[in-house]
Amino acid sequence: MNIKLHGPHQKSSDRPTSCVPQNRARRQLAMTCKPSQAMFKSAQYPQWSGKKNRVEWRILRATLPTEAFSPGNDDDIEVGMNEALENLALDEEPDTRLGGGTLSFNEAAGAHSQASAHIKFLMYDLNSFREEKEEESWANVQRGNIVLSTGMSGDVVGSSVTNGGVRVTAPSLKFEVVYARTITVENQKKYVAYTVMIRKDGAQPDPNPAVVERRYTDFLELYASLRRENLALMGNVAFPKKVILGNFGPSVISERSSCFEELLKHISADEKLRNSSGFNRFLQSRELDEARMWMNEKRYDQASIFLENIFRLLNKLHTDRHPEVLFALCRLVACCNADPMATSAERFAELALRRYEAVSDADLLRFYVPLLQLCVHLWWRLGKEKRMLEERLEDLKRRGINVDGSPPLLDALIKDGKF
Whether residue 359 lies inside any domain: the answer is yes
Statement to judge: residues 360 and 251 lie in one domain: no
**Residue 106 and residue 216 in one domain:** yes
- pLDDT at residue 38, rounded to an integer: 37
Indicate whether 320 belongs to any domain.
yes
**Residue at 61 is within a domain:** yes
CATH number for the domain spanning 148: value is 3.30.1520.10
Q: Where are the alpha helices (DSSP H) in 33-173?
A: 37-41, 54-62, 74-91, 113-126
Round to whole Å and give the CA distance between 184 and 214.
15
218 and 359 inside one domain = no
Query: Looking at residue 170, what is its pLDDT?
Result: 67
Tell me, yes or no, whether 172 and 259 share the same domain: yes
Are 312 and 397 part of one and the same domain? yes
| Backbone torsion region of residue 368, taken as left when φ is above 0, otherwise alpha when ψ lies between -120 and 50, otherwise beta | alpha
27 assigned to some structural domain: no
If asked whether residues 296 and 396 sit together in one domain, one would say yes
- 26 inside domain: no
- Which of these three, 242, 274, 306, is where a domain ends? 274
Say if residue 214 is in the same domain as residue 265: yes
Collapsing DSSP to helix, strand or coil, 337 comes out as: helix
How far is residue 413's CA from residue 374's CA, in Å, rounded to a whole number? 13
Please check whether residue 287 lies inside any domain of the structure. no
> Going residue by residue through the chain (419 aa), what tens digit of pLDDT does each one get?
333 333 334 444 443 333 333 444 333 433 333 333 333 333 333 333 343 343 333 334 443 444 444 445 555 555 555 555 555 556 544 343 333 333 444 444 444 455 556 566 565 544 433 333 333 333 333 333 233 333 344 555 454 455 555 555 667 899 999 999 999 888 888 999 999 999 998 888 888 899 999 999 999 999 999 999 999 999 899 999 988 887 888 999 999 999 999 999 999 999 999 999 999 999 999 999 999 999 999 999 999 999 999 999 999 999 999 999 999 999 999 999 999 888 899 999 999 999 998 888 887 888 999 999 999 999 999 999 999 999 999 998 998 888 888 899 999 999 988 88
**Does the residue 286 lie in any domain?**
no
What do you get for the CA distance between the two ends of the chain, in Å? 34
Of 43, 63, 91, which one is at a domain's C-terminal end? 91
> Are the C-beta atoms of 138 and 209 separated by less than 8 Å?
no
- Considering the domain architecture, whether residues 124 and 146 belong to the same structural domain is answered as yes
- The DSSP code sequence of 288-312 is HHHHHHHHHTT-HHHHHHHHHHHHH
Choose the final residue of a domain: 229, 244, 274: 274
Q: Are residue 215 and residue 238 in the same domain, yes or no?
A: yes
Q: 298 and 367 share a domain? A: yes
Q: Has residue 331 been placed in a domain?
A: yes
394 lies in the same domain as 303:
yes
- Domain of residue 354: give its range: 292-415
Q: Could you give the number of structural domains in the chain?
A: 3
Tell me how crowded residue 153 is: count the other CB atoms within 10 A of its CB. Answer: 21
Q: What is the pLDDT of residue 164?
A: 55
Spatial distance between the Cα atoms of 51 and 191, rounded to a whole number of angstroms: 60
Same-domain status, 45 and 102: no
Q: What's the gap between Cα 372 and its chain centre? A: 23
Could you give the CA distance from residue 246 to residue 252 in angstroms, rounded to a whole number? 7
pTM score, whole prediction: 0.67
pLDDT (0 to 100) of residue 312:
95
